[in-house]
A and B are shown apart, each in its own frame.
Chain A
Amino acid sequence: MKRTSIPERLAGNRYVTDEDESHIHVDQDLARSTGTGKRIVAVCPAHVYTEEPDGTISVEYAACFECGACLAVAAPGALTWHYPRGGTGVQFREG
């Protein structure tokens, strides 16, 4: 099977993006000081998080699978993460 990039894989999923509101917020200072930033970059299977050259964590919330792995490895306060609004976010067609 041809190896595909994460964005290519995500393109096959169905998403209903909430254009008004992100369901993820990173506290940049805490993310850096607690190591949360690097951990959430590593665990997220959708590559929602990217560490920018200046060390900040950027968030592509529209790609999220809503699994909660990031929240589980985050230090208290470093990451605010809840489910997106009803009817939005990833909509699995296979499951």
Chain B
Amino acid sequence: MSEPTAATGPDVEPDFDVIVVGGGIAGCVTAYRLAQAGRSVVLIERGEAPGSKNLSGGVLYSRVLEQVFPDLLTSAPIERRITRNYVQFLNATSSVGIDYQDARLAEPVNAVTVLRARLDAWLAERCEEAGVFLMPGVRVDRVIREGGRVVGVRAGDDELRAHVVVAADGVNSFVAQEAGLREKPPTHHLAVGVKAVVRLDERTVAERFHLVGDEGAAYAIVGDCTLGVGGGGFLYTNRDSLSVGVVLRLDDLVKRGLRSTDVFDHFLGHRFIAPFLEGGEIAEYGSHLVAEGGLEMVGHIHTDGMVVVGDAAGLTLNTGLTVRGMDLAAASGIAAAKGIDEALTSGDTSEAGLAGYRRELFAGFAGKDMETYAKAPAFLERTRMYEEYGLLLGDVLHSVFDHDLTPRRHLSQVVRSELKRSPVRLRDLLSDGLAGVRAL
């Protein structure tokens, strides 16, 4: 037997061409595309079924997933098509928002809400139809390395070997960490999302959010919803429920000494949020980590015998107005499948042979968007976003609308005097404004 090499791996005939660890969006797309290309693929999922460990923390910008599954919008368990985006500065007793509703967002469909336990199960079913061997209820304990490269995975007493292992195991990605591709991220690059699914009837959802048919609304909220902690609140309409919760940057949560559950309860009980939830019941309560580091967190996404996709690769984006992850996961799955397929054809699954994945990812919108918003995480760490600006806006508008029988002043004078009363200094405003323009 000759020595294994980085390019080809060991002489032992592998069980599969590709092992995908994790049955979320990135893993399913990678597995599906490779099976379509005629490769033998096993998809390992630690949950009872794909989706059972996953939570959606936002809307799915769906066009990219439609490239893989053209019947997505008609066949997949989609909750609502998002036609209304509400961006809100929420203060304790005031709220200022931009309500953007647009019929063009429905045709063609741009974004949808999904519940992951249902969507991921559907994706995995499509994978099985395409010939992927699905192994649910199996936790991968570690990767197997031989001759300096990844050659497979170990789960309990079982070993599985493949030419390429795909780490699609989510934001904690123990598999990618163990392979030496990722470090433990710093806490200012991580946020905890705490979410409830609140059951309401379909008609109530439509009425409360001014929706027709299967149209949906997405609220991105900043300010008092997190008691000033870096992060924000969210509210998304599903068919007959709402996904509602907070995303809290861990460094700031710890620094302020707050309990995540107290912040969550404060948000749900807020005078401007509680009316949406009235009469509802919490059907499910959960949490999930969110990577907030942007491009800086992506780092190494391929090595000899392995690639990393989706959340595991740090592919999430918060641009202040939009929060993305699922579309980037799908894009990375498409790019990974292409890179792996080419590597398998050429017989070189070393780091160099798999480099097509990274090239493909950064040639497309997903990688380019990560680069475009590379400065967004640092901008969003500026603390005035989470308290002072919302209050300033509320106070300016209060001065405009509160007719207390004092003579009216021009808007510019109102702004100037409110700015004077606010802890925000003009140079903060200019500095943050400039940084915002550059970052977002």
* Interface assignment of B118: CB less than 8 Å from any CB of chain A: yes
Asked if A69 and B269 sit within 8 Å, CB to CB, the answer is no
Nearest CB in chain A to that of B51: its residue: A95
Asked if A67 and B289 sit within 8 Å, CB to CB, the answer is yes
* Interface assignment of A82: CB less than 8 Å from any CB of chain B: yes
| Residues from 215 to 262 in B contacting A, C-beta threshold 8 Å | 241, 250, 253-254, 257-261
Pick from B53-61, B201-209, B294-302 the stretch touching chain A: B53-61
Known: A73-B250, A82-B174. Contact between A92 and B264, CB under 8 A?
Answer: no
Known: A67-B288, A91-B47. Contact between A72 and B283, CB under 8 A?
Answer: no
Which residues on the B side are within 8 Å of A4 (C-beta)?
282
* B231 CB → nearest A CB, Å: 12
Which residues on the B side are within 8 Å of A6 (C-beta)?
261, 285
User: In the complex, which of the residues B116, B194, B283, B286 has the most CB atoms of chain A within 10 Å of its own CB atom?
Assistant: B286
Asked if A9 and B196 sit within 8 Å, CB to CB, the answer is yes
Pick from B89-97, B272-280, B419-427 the stretch touching chain A: B272-280
Known: A42-B253, A95-B54. Contact between A87 and B47, CB under 8 A?
Answer: yes
Nearest CB in chain A to that of B199: its residue: A94
Asked if A92 and B51 sit within 8 Å, CB to CB, the answer is yes
Which residues on the A side are within 8 Å of B179 (C-beta)?
none
Size category, A interface:
35 or more
Size category, B interface:
35 or more
Asked if A86 and B281 sit within 8 Å, CB to CB, the answer is no
Asked if A46 and B287 sit within 8 Å, CB to CB, the answer is yes
The 8 A CB mask of A30-65 against B (1 = contact, 0 = none) is 000000000101111111000000000000000001
Interface secondary structure of A, over-half rule: loop
Nearest CB in chain B to that of A93: its residue: B117
Asked if B274 and A72 sit within 8 Å, CB to CB, the answer is no
* A43 CB → nearest B CB, Å: 5
A92 to B198, CA, bound (A): 14
* Interface assignment of A85: CB less than 8 Å from any CB of chain B: yes
Asked if B139 and A83 sit within 8 Å, CB to CB, the answer is yes
A39 to B254, CA, bound (A): 7
* Interface assignment of B131: CB less than 8 Å from any CB of chain A: no
The 8 A CB mask of A12-40 against B (1 = contact, 0 = none) is 11001000000000000000000000010
A33 to B361, CA, bound (A): 44
Nearest CB in chain A to that of B257: its residue: A42
Asked if B284 and A94 sit within 8 Å, CB to CB, the answer is yes
* Interface assignment of B160: CB less than 8 Å from any CB of chain A: no
Asked if A45 and B190 sit within 8 Å, CB to CB, the answer is no
* Interface assignment of B363: CB less than 8 Å from any CB of chain A: no
Which residues on the A side are within 8 Å of B39 (C-beta)?
none
A43 to B156, CA, bound (A): 31
Partner of A90, one of B51, B53, B187, B289: B53
Partner of A86, one of B138, B198, B253, B265: B138
Nearest CB in chain B to that of A92: its residue: B117
* A9 CB → nearest B CB, Å: 4
Nearest CB in chain A to that of B243: its residue: A94
Asked if A72 and B190 sit within 8 Å, CB to CB, the answer is yes
* Interface assignment of B46: CB less than 8 Å from any CB of chain A: yes
* Interface assignment of B137: CB less than 8 Å from any CB of chain A: yes
Which residues on the A side are within 8 Å of B185 (C-beta)?
72
Known: A42-B259, A68-B172, A83-B46. Contact between A12 and B279, CB under 8 A?
Answer: no
A94 to B190, CA, bound (A): 24
Which residues on the B side are within 8 Å of A44 (C-beta)?
260
* Interface assignment of B181: CB less than 8 Å from any CB of chain A: no
Which residues on the A side are within 8 Å of B400 (C-beta)?
none
A11 to B268, CA, bound (A): 19
Nearest CB in chain A to that of B190: its residue: A72
Asked if B118 and A95 sit within 8 Å, CB to CB, the answer is yes
Asked if A94 and B194 sit within 8 Å, CB to CB, the answer is no
Asked if B55 and A95 sit within 8 Å, CB to CB, the answer is yes
* Interface assignment of B34: CB less than 8 Å from any CB of chain A: no
* Interface assignment of B37: CB less than 8 Å from any CB of chain A: no
Asked if B117 and A86 sit within 8 Å, CB to CB, the answer is no
Asked if B136 and A87 sit within 8 Å, CB to CB, the answer is yes
Nearest CB in chain A to that of B256: its residue: A42
Asked if B139 and A86 sit within 8 Å, CB to CB, the answer is yes
Q: Which residue numbers of A lie inside 8 Å of B, CB to CB?
A: 1, 3-4, 6, 9-10, 12-13, 16, 39, 41-47, 65-69, 71-73, 82-87, 89-95
Extra 4 A-B pairs, beta carbons < 8 Å, given A42-B257, A86-B137, A94-B117: A42-B254, A45-B194, A72-B250, A90-B53
**Can you list 27 A-B contacts with CB-CB less than 8 angstroms, sorted by A residue number?**
A3-B269, A12-B284, A13-B284, A13-B286, A42-B260, A43-B250, A43-B260, A44-B260, A65-B288, A66-B53, A67-B193, A67-B286, A69-B190, A69-B192, A72-B185, A73-B187, A83-B46, A84-B139, A91-B49, A92-B55, A93-B52, A93-B117, A94-B117, A94-B118, A94-B197, A95-B55, A95-B117
